[in-house]
Structure 1
Amino acid sequence: MATSRYLTAQKISLLVLVNLYCDRALPSSATIPVLSFLLSKSICRVSAAARSRHNSEHGFSPASIQDFEDVLQGHASSMPGRTLLDHFSKHIWGINSFDALHDLFNNLSILLERPSEEEQQDSAGPERIYLSKTSPLGAFVRRARLEFTRLQFDDSLKLWAAFVEYRAPTAKWNKRLAGLAPSGSDVSIAQLGIRPGDAIFEAVYGNLSTEDVVLISVDDLDSILEFQLDQLQRLGTRVPDDMAVQLRNMLNPTGFVLRQIHLVKLFDAWKAGDYTSAFDCLHRYYDYAMQTREKTHYQYALLHMAILQADFGCFDEAIAAINETIATARENQDMTCLNFSLSWLNHMSKAYPKQMKGAGYMGMLASERDGLTFLKAKAKEAKMHHLLSATLLNEAKLCLATGEPISRALEYVYQSAYLNIRGNVNNYGRLMLFQSTLYSRLGITHLSTVLCDLLLHCYRHGCAVDEQVRAICRIAFGATQHGRYDEALQLLETVDRSIHRTVRQYQYILSCICLIKLRRAIRRTDWQGCTVLLQSLHPTSTRDPELVFLIREARISFLIARRQYPEAFVAIEELASSLREESADIHQRVTTLLLKAELFAKVGKPERGFSVAMRAASVSFKARLMPKLWDAVGRLGGIFNALGEFEAARRLLDAVIPQSLESADHTLTGMLSSQISDSYIGLAGLEDASTTQGARARASYISRAEMYIDRARDAYKTVEDIEGACEQLMKKAVLAKLRGDEKVAEEWAQNYNRMWEDNQERISEGRTVGGL
């Protein structure tokens, strides 16, 4: 397949349509659709910063002959009974020889040369439309004429053959046009009576095979590669296999060196985890850029090097590269690169504080808030709406992480959303994920899930792949709170296979699947399965901060469930120490406090966890971490029950249980119901059964205790927590025995044994961890 520099058969057809527009052959109803079509197919090379949203979403594709038919067929022409498509077809078949093709380009100057007033008055023909040389269509016409004059004879002949083949499907349109179809493709051949097979015909057209015709130009290839780069950078995905084959087929026959292909290969290899090829492509692209004296690319080469080094885990080299990027961007006064570099550096210091400090990074300014304020001011000065929107979201995240008022975080969220609309910023994925996090911390779990569903159903095509994956995983974790483990696993296992081609996203999804299976195995007391899953879920298996914390939390839960209390205490202390050093999210620190309070309750010393639970409750209340507040109150209720303060425990639990039911976390519901049932049992024991009033009060307390025991048992059964459900059955058996009903007590004990045996049988059959 031969490749021209600019001209193709599609552009010749566009020039014919421009001629029709200038001859005023278009009806007024067709003017806007035709001009829009011309501009979309002729003005395709724009910078990444100036590229419109439409082009970014739909990309560039050369105009097929079917595109002309779709645009022109629905409009009537000046000739009665004929459409604009017939008029257009007449003109493209009017180019009936190689000489007529030259006449088309030679007459293009008429479209640009506006005659004087005297010549316009002397002209008896209809008034024409003349193009300005600086207008988009004028620039397209000028460049097409210039590129045609540069073509050698052999190349121009191939262009003619390509045009003949390109318009061949339109022959059926011309059966109604007298005198055109019989003349064939070349009127000179028809007039001389030459037919295919003759020596002169074979000499002219015989050597022009389908592989030699010009179907796409280098300019079109540049536009296609620009679109691929935009998709790779904006969505964080890889080039699809079918598109990679098409690009290879288009680029292999060309003799041109297209530097963008190295950048496309860089991002593709990067997402595939092939760091050796990624570094090689990075050097190839920017070495070519420096050879062509495009020194403005130097700071972007350093920026990509820093990001790639950080992704590879080489933070020392990444910091050195980003510092050089900042210095070079300041020297070249490239505010876009400078602001982006500072924003990325701030993000890395927050996401990987331990690694960045180990590499010698001491912070951009005195504090993270000062750094965000600086970035926000610079973004406003440069009118970089995308950076400003992202900085506002980072400020909102900082508010949540430090426990500041929710109203302030919401203010930043609304400012960011306003910028997204005003500046046409495609930042909806990050915005909706943050809102989902905010509502989940407020205990509005349903709204949090709805936002993730909205992102996947309405904004999937404009969101980055990692944002889509996080939304899917968040929905899956929400399903586990309702005990729908199979649904959560199916949701993660049926993710689009193209996402698995990106190594980091594949590892993230795999880690989430293992975490869900691990939680299920812990609740089912499948210790062998837990051991296997924990081996694959080592914290070093991922560098995502959220996943690392969830893995360490799951390991502590496993140690507590196995009654390995010393190891669990050491793990909790190590986790708390690392969180303090990193100034971690307050949500994670409160979770660590609750794990410690749970550990003290398990070892039989709940009173030692009183101060820990009180601190967790106080911090959760100030930061509006409602699920953690309810959990902390439940721990306090258990401590009060252990100390004999049953009425205080009941009042605390009565205050939070109605709110906790809205979160639909069945594990939390089971724990709170179990604690308040203990409170009622304790209150029943304080009543004097020898009096009528005392006997009635005791019966009332026992009845309420049994109601909450049933609620706790149902909640634990929903999430498949075997120990929790068996504990409630044991309580039922004890209460029945205290009432003197030995038969009912025996039935509850048998139910206890049956549930435990069924669970052990299910584990032995290998259904616990999905065949792992």
Structure 2
Amino acid sequence: MSKPRYLTPSKISLLVLVNLYCSSGVPSSAIVPVLSFILSQCFPTPPSAARVSRVAKHHDISTSVHAFEDILHRHASSMPGRTLLDVFLKNMWEMNSFDELFNLFDRLGGLLTRPSEEELRNHSVERVYLSPTSPLGSLIRRARVEFVRLPFDDAIRLWSAFIAYRAPTAQWTKRLAGLSSLGIDSVAADLGIKSGDGLYETAYGRFSGEEATEYALSLDDLERLMEFQLDRLQRLGCRVPEDMKDPLREMLESSGTAPRQAHLVKFFDTWKAGDYTSAFDHLHRYFDYAMQARERIHYQYALLHMAILHADFGCFDEAIAAINETIATARENQDIHCLNFSLNWLHHMSKAYPKHMKRAGYMGMLGSEKEALAFLKAKARETKTYNLLSATLLNEAKLHLLMGDPVTRAFDHLFQSSHLNLKENISNHGSHMLFQSALSSRLGLNYMSNVYCELLLHCYHHSCPLDEQVRAIGRRTFLVAQKGQYAEALSMLDKMNTPANHSIKFHHYVFLCTGLVKLKRAIHWTDWTACEALLLSLQPDSSTDPELSFMLSESRIYYLVARGLFSEAFKALDTLSTSLKDEGADVMQRVEVLIAKAEIYRLAGEPERGFSVALRAASVSFKARLMPCLWSAVGMLANILNSIGEYGAAMRLLHAVIPQVSAPLNPKSGEICAHCSPVAREFRPLREWEVVLAPG
């Protein structure tokens, strides 16, 4: 049996409630809850990102009759001793024949008829009349059109499904005089026909409970369910939950003709699962259907999805070709929103993967990075796409940090973006929390950095994409590992929720984070066999996060330094430095490379050559307010001065920086240790006297 297009028993019940409201049967105190309930069932809105949804985790798509009971039994009616639920059920059970179903739609049609001037002058209008363009008017107009289009057999099925739908409320009829004796069909009662008779079974017996359940869901409800799934998949970047896959499959198989959104849901699910071929297949199916339905406005979005899919799997040549065609098509169709999003995504990719984009032939479309952000910001203001404007302001704040500009400029753009989020109710909390965490870490406030990550995970996890949650957990892990507490860091990664329905990139990110923590611990413990095994397994690919790629390269360099292979370490450092310079990388990464170079010079017995490098790192760190790098650079300068016999100058430097760092000196060698030189402390091997004192 095919599913109905629109009308279901729950829709009939909503129409009964609308008719009750328009007949002034709803008291003033219950008007707002009743109208809110009706509109939420007909025109559902996404939940606010500022609070957790209180909707049950497991619920039916179609509104059960118990939902009406929950909302109506709390309100008294105009009848003494009766609640609004009693009045509603009275109207429901007064529909005691198939003919009454037609009468309901006739009465609803009268609600859309404007009263005459004479009736308005005489104040004889006792009903609420609806405008045809109002939400309730639109509901009634569509319901009446769909009912008129129903074949007779489908109308009988709808009536029989409505009888089964209201059956759980039969006990309420005992409280309502005159209803309990009529049964489900007053015509059958007048003719003396009852259950078991041939005519009665012909009319109602063939409609089993299973078929009634099947008829409770319409194609319109199924499309709404698919739209909800798409919203979750796109906004959170996750996969379809396992407990939802089987019900979805059963609904689609029973519907006969699956809605086109089902192909897009399968596309996102297979994409996040890492099934490249199936993802392309479902994407082509969805947009081929859209083109057949003459919805050519979807063509540029097909190309946009294809570009993102190519880039996610490291095919940057195909991604650039697809995004260029997307931009050209969006300009041709004058789709400003798609055009702005495409340009913003292209700018993001050129910044996140500059090496791969240049290798693929991308030479820049929007000029310099500042010009690109200014262009995107102007276009976002012009088209009033505030979510794009908020993201652009946040990107501008990130650019100031990456270039080493004053921190006040970054704070300025951050506050502008936050104000816009509050004013326009934009759900962009995850990006803001991560940026504030990174900003606090650069200022040396590791505690605040950890607090922002915890705030994201505990307060905004329901509205943040999965990728941002994973990054927050990874950042917390590295903050703990930086203190030398490797066991606790690995425990945090082990406790992560890693169900099978998470994306393949999620598992790859967790694998790399775990490997990095183990590699740092192995270097710290001088376990060279484990280091070599981990370095072989931790090979980044083109889709690896650039920050993790840098950390892997840095760990490899410090492994070579710890082994005493200074020439190999210096070659790897030069390669990394050249790569960072070509990519226009973060100033913090470049400063860390300078500190590592100074450390290599000092350990190789040439501290004079490392002095100027460390001094340059300290100068850049001070200007950019990179406090951890500044402390490491000053500690490196003190160690270099100490190694060449300038003990007084080293002591003056240490006295200047230790009150801020609160780190003691190494009692054996006099070198600055602990928090003052976190990079060197993380990777250098433990000495004999430190084994007892080392944390973890």
Mark yes or no: TM-score above 0.5.
yes
For the pair 1:20 / 2:20, whether they are aligned, the reply is yes
Q: Greater helix share, 1 or 2?
A: 1
Q: Which amino acid aligns with 2:206?
A: N
Given that residues 240 and 498 in structure 1 are in contact (C-alpha distance below 8 angstroms), is that contact kept between their aligned partners in structure 2? no
The residue number in structure 2 matching 1:310 is: 311
Counterpart of 1:673 in structure 2 is 665
Q: State the match for 2:144 in structure 1.
A: 145
- Give secondary structure in 1 for the equivalent of 2:194: coil
Query: Which one-letter code corresponds to 1:516 in the other structure?
Result: V
Secondary structure, in 3 states, of the residue corresponding to 2:181?
helix
Report the alpha carbon displacement of residue 530 of structure 1 after superposing the two structures with TM.
Answer: 1.5
Which deviations, in whole Å up to 9, do the C-alpha atoms of 1:220-250 show, x marking residues without a partner? 1111111111111111111111112221111
Q: Check if 1:724 corresponds to 2:686.
A: yes
Q: For 1:631-646, list aligned pairs within 5 A.
A: 631-646=632-647
Specify the alignment match of 1:134 in structure 2. 133
The superposition leaves residues 321-340 of structure 1 with CA deviations (integer Å, 9 ceiling, x where unpaired) of 11111111111111100000
Note the C-alpha offset of 1:262: 0.6
Quickly say closer, same or farther: Cα 1:432–1:56, change in 2 above 3 A.
closer
Q: Over aligned residues, Cα RMSD in angstroms?
A: 2.5
- Superposition deviation, residue 364 in structure 1: 2.0
Corresponding residue for residue 72 of structure 1: 72
Aligned to 1:3: 3
Judged with a 3 Å threshold, the aligned counterparts in structure 2 of structure 1 residues 38 and 75 are, in CA distance, closer, same or farther, namely: same
Q: Which residue of 2 aligns with 1:194?
A: 193
Q: Contact 1:499–1:506 (CA<8 Å) still a contact in 2? A: no
Runs of 5+ consecutive residues of structure 2 not aligned to the other structure: none
Rg larger for = 1
Structure 1 unaligned segments of length 5 or more: list them.
Answer: 662-668, 681-707, 730-751, 760-767
Q: One-letter code of the match for 2:399?
A: L
2:569 partner letter: A
Please give the alpha-carbon distance, in whole angstroms, between the structure 1 residues aligned to 2:676 and 2:291: 68
Q: Is the contact made by 2:314 and 2:543 (CA closer than 8 Å) also made in structure 1? A: no
* Cα drift, residue 499 of structure 1: 7.3
Distance 2:424 2:200 in 1: 59
The corresponding residue for 1:341 is: 342
Distance 1:212 1:477, change over 3 A: same
Match of 1:106 in 2: 106
| Structure 1 residue identity aligned to 2:665 | S
Q: Cα distance, 1:557 vs. partner? A: 1.3
Summarize the alignment of residues 553-592 of structure 1 with structure 2, pairs less than 5 Å apart. Answer: 553-592=554-593
CA contact (8 A) 2:641 2:650 kept: yes
CA distance, structure 2, for counterparts of residue 86 and residue 105 of structure 1 = 22
Q: Map 1:91-490; keep pairs closer than 5 Å.
A: 91-119=91-119, 127-213=126-212, 214-490=215-491
CA distance in 2: counterparts of 1:531 and 1:175, whole angstroms = 80
Task: For residue 497 of structure 1, give the secondary structure of its aligned residue in structure 2.
Answer: coil
Indicate conservation of the 8 Å contact 1:441/1:624, yes or no.
yes
Distance 1:81 1:149 in 2: 39
- The answer to whether the Cα contact below 8 Å between 2:631 and 2:657 also exists between their aligned partners in 1 is yes
The answer to whether the 8 Å contact 2:313/2:543 transfers is: no
Paired residues of 1:712 and 1:725 also in contact (CA < 8 A): no
Q: Does 2:662 align with 1:656?
A: no
Distance 1:401 1:713 in 2: 23
Question: Residues 375-412 of structure 1, C-alpha deviation per residue, up to 9 Å, x if partnerless?
Answer: 00000101111101111111111111110000000001
**Which letter does structure 2 place at the counterpart of 1:202?**
E
State whether residues 95 and 101 of structure 1, in contact with CA within 8 Å, keep that contact through their aligned partners in structure 2: yes
Query: Of the two structures, which has the highest relative contact order with CA contacts closer than 8 Å and spacing of 6 or more?
Result: 2
1:405–1:677 CA distance, 2 compared to 1 (3 A) = farther
Task: Check whether the contact 1:465–1:499 (CA below 8 A) recurs between aligned residues.
Answer: no
Q: Distance in 1 between matches of 2:389 and 2:290?
A: 30
Per-residue CA distance 1:264-297 (angstroms, 9 max, x = gap): 1111111110110110011001111111111111
Q: Following the alignment from structure 2 to structure 1, what is the Cα–Cα distance between the partners of residues 635 and 656?
A: 11
Report the more deviating stretch, 295-304 or 248-257: 248-257
Measure, in 1, the Cα distance between the counterparts of 2:26 and 2:150: 32
Task: Note if contact 1:286-1:301 (Cα within 8 Å) is conserved in structure 2.
Answer: yes
Percent of aligned pairs with the same residue?
Answer: 57
Aligned-residue offset at 1:582: 0.7
- Relative to structure 1, the CA distance from residue 56 to residue 625 in structure 2 (aligned partners, 3 Å threshold; closer, same or farther) is closer
- Is 2:242–2:501's contact at 8 Å kept on the other side of the alignment? no
Alpha-carbon distance between aligned partners in 1 of 2:611 and 2:129, rounded to the nearest angstrom: 86
CA contact (8 A) 1:650 1:679 kept: no
Alignment length, in residue pairs?
687
Distance 1:715 1:301 in 2: 50
Residue type of the partner of 2:204? Y
CA displacement, residues 139-190 of structure 1 (integer Å, 9 cap, x when unaligned): 1011101100100111111111211111111112222112212322222233
Amino acid at match of 2:89: S
2:342 alignment partner AA: S
Contact 2:273 2:501 in 1 (8 A): no
For 1:383 and 1:425, locate their aligned partners in 2 and report how far apart those are by CA, in whole Å: 13
- Counterpart of 2:84 in structure 1 is 84
SS of aligned partner of 1:617: helix
Deviation at residue 43 of structure 1 after TM alignment? 2.4
Task: Give SS of 1:3's match.
Answer: coil
Aligned-pair CA distance for 1:714: 14
For residue 215 of structure 1, what is the amino acid of its counterpart? A
Rounded Cα–Cα distance in structure 2 between residues aligned with 1:54 and 1:591: 38
Q: What's the offset of the Cα at 1:482?
A: 2.7
- Map Cα deviations across residues 7-38 of structure 1 (whole Å, 9 max, x no partner): 01011000110111111011100011101111
Query: In 2, Cα distance between the equivalents of 1:212 and 1:482?
Result: 63
C-alpha displacement of 1:599: 1.3
Q: Distance in 1 between matches of 2:519 and 2:270?
A: 32
TM-score normalised by the chain length of structure 1: 0.85
User: Quick one: distance in 1 between partners of 2:684 and 2:561?
Assistant: 15
Aligned to 2:598: 597
Does structure 1 retain, via aligned residues, the 8 Å contact 2:562–2:683?
no
Instruction: Tell me, in whole angstroms, the C-alpha distance in 2 between the residues paired with 1:642 and 1:121.
Output: 102
Shift in Å at residue 480 of structure 1?
1.4
